[in-house]
Amino acid sequence: MHEKILILDFGSQYTQLIARRVRELNIYCEIHPWNKCPELDDVKGVILSGSPFSVRDSSSPQPDLSAIRGKLPLLGVCFGAQFMAHNFGGEVLPSTIREYGRANLSSVDTNHILTKGMSVNSQVWMSHGDTIKTIPDNFKIIASTEDVAVAGYHIEGEDTYGIQFHPEVYHTLEGAILLKNYLVDICGCSQDWTPNSFVDETVNSLKEQIGNDKVILGLSGGVDSSVAAILLHKAIGENLHCIFVDNGLLRKNEFSQVLDSYQGMGLNVKGVNASQLFYDELKGLTDPEAKRKAIGKVFIDVFDAESKLVEDAKWLGQGTIYPDVIESISATGGPSATIKSHHNVGGLPDYMKLKVVEPLRLLFKDEVRRIGASMGMEPSLLGRHPFPGPGLGIRILGDITPEKVAILQDVDHIFISSLKEDGLYDEVWQAGAIFLPVQTVGVMGDERTYENAVALRAVTSTDGMTADWSHLPYEFLAKVSNRIINQVKGINRVTYDISSKPPATIEWE
């Protein structure tokens, strides 16, 4: 068992970032809803997240910290800091000016164990509508800004701390210093959560869990399912049966190229071309969710039929990762907001009597890539952009036909190939093309045309939760547009999407 940091989630948009920053320091952590605190065995310290609630609201979270405070190191961030100040004898009031965005520390105790190594005037990130007005006598202020007197405090006589700013976000420039001080010097974590240790422990655990049973795993060509497959292969070898389904909605030549790559890695994999089954089920559908469900239904049908050809299979392998798990549980312990239906969590039909094994369910996407690299997987596979489960089915707005798929595959191929040729692919988090449900007037030669339009989409991000549009060079976009219009019959107009998430999403459907 690894030593563990527990993060209690009060619904903050930044909670996953806290966990990722902890993991980057090679320390294992888990996120749990504030009202579903697990057993504290092996827990070295606890972090209280921020929240959209105000501590002054009667409906705000009211955690019982009696089993934690004074017994384990405790760090409150934003709401967490305000909650402790409010409930332990201080006063929290509405801010006269909403404190959001960049701020600078006007004073910081550089000798204090939590803030040592930080600098006066260091930039921090604020995001709160309340402020800590007064604190009890046993609270010691260890950091302030011009507008926030209590930007950081320590409850004397115990390892309990609160900070009003967010050390986990990129804009808090010395946030990593504070987190390391807390995790290593205060909590005493040994930083032993490494890719190599994860691989060794997971392979041994899978061997014990599965024994000589057979496992079926659906490969998608993406990073998650690929790394999950290699881990399972290391544990059970030929008893892992991989199925790679061509739904007719993959990128150009992707089915054959990825299948060859998997076979080159020694995986026991079977390719199944089921394109026509998907096209038949999708015929005439235009609603995005209806298309998702149709794609999911046919995939399950095909996967189930292929699974039955593997005698005595008892397990279903999935590439579920930690954000999928977290998103299926809200901070209040109830159902979360609607999750798009192609996510891995849930969705296994009752008639498929298979137990589920998910070797990556504790990992974030960046950790999955590091695990894959530690096992010697090809950088080209690990560095692939995310691709939606329904594939091009949700990048064709309106009804789907084989003709539209072929056109979009050609457009997408030119766009992605050009990004790679110009050394821009790795600067972009995700890129693709969208087939628009409109036709536009154009001129080709001496003739007017009335043909299709496409949109190109490229974003920068770290985890897909937020994203900005990629500021690709005008010269590059001009070259790509020219190539698409000249080489792809049926396209006479190319647009570029400059929307950020939020308010837009990365995919159009």
Active-site residue set: 78, 166, 168
Q: Which helix (H) or strand (E) holds 92?
A: strand 91-108
CA distances, 165 to each of 78, 151, 220, 342 (Å): 6, 7, 40, 35
* C-alpha–C-alpha distance, residues 214 and 315, integer Å: 6
* C-alpha–C-alpha distance, residues 361 and 371, integer Å: 13
Cβ–Cβ under 8 Å, residues 84 and 70: no
Parallel, antiparallel, or unpaired for β 240-246 and 214-219?
parallel
Number of other CB atoms surrounding residue 333 within 10 Å: 12
Cβ–Cβ under 8 Å, residues 54 and 85: no
**What distance lies between CA 233 and its chain's CA centroid?**
25
* C-alpha–C-alpha distance, residues 356 and 366, integer Å: 23
* C-alpha–C-alpha distance, residues 300 and 306, integer Å: 10
What is the identity of the amino acid at 122? S
| Count of CA atoms in the C-beta half-sphere (13 A) of 160 | 19
Single out the residue of 50, 42, 51 nearest to residue 5, CA to CA. Answer: 42
